[in-house]
Amino acid sequence: MENGFFYNIARLDFTGNLQMIIEKSKDNGLVVSILLRNESCGDSAKDLIPPLTLIGTAEELDEGFFPQIAKPVEQMSGLMVDMEAFLVQMEIAKKNSAMEKQQEEMKRKGKEARDKKYEDAMDKVEVLEKEGKFRDAWTKLPDPSEFPQQAELIRKRKAELSARFAPDLFGANTPQVESIPEQVNQSNGHQDDPDQLDDDGVSDEEE
């Protein structure tokens, strides 16, 4: 090993705590277990990552220890970092989803409230119209600008109701036209009843 042990540890690319357990084997070799812990990772699946275990003589481990662990340690570290990043993104997605659901719920409730207000107003209009209170019914019609989807229907109902009370609205009553019977007898040039003429063609009044 050209450089010292801790120099090579410092060169490893990992995030978290690198734990190492060393014990002797029965054949006077060494068993080295490497476990990377990352407490900032909130995914419990990290506990399922097994430790990296190397077995060999002291000379073998001096020669090949760091080349053997460098890549696996980097992969374990990257995996846990990705797991935590995934959890963070999942949490953000949940919050956004909850916010979106809340906004959708608010929109739904707002629409239901507007629909109920419209229906209640139109029900009152219908009742007043049946009672013959056309002017009152007209005033109870909702504002078309408040209900753009029903604006055309509201304007149509306004026109229908105003036509029912428009004469009273302008203070004018429809004049009643009386028929004048035709006068049969004219003051000038009237015809006498033939039955009232005598034989000489002279009426009884002239006699």
Segments making up each domain of the chain, as ranges: 5-97, 106-169
132: left (phi over 0), alpha (psi -120 to 50) or beta: left
pLDDT in tens, 47-71: 888 888 999 999 999 899 999 999 9
Residue 161 confidence class, pLDDT cut points 50, 70, 90? confident
pLDDT score, position 22: 93
Q: Which amino acid is at 2?
A: E
pLDDT score, position 178: 40
- Cα separation, 73 vs 95, whole angstroms: 33
pLDDT in tens, 60-101: 998 999 999 999 999 988 888 888 888 888 888 888 887 888
pTM: 0.42
Residue 164 confidence class, pLDDT cut points 50, 70, 90? confident
By the 10 Å C-beta count (0-12 exposed, 13-18 middle, 19+ buried), 43 is classed as middle
Average pLDDT over residues 104-119: 88
pLDDT score, position 2: 59
User: What one-character DSSP code corresponds to residue 197?
Assistant: B
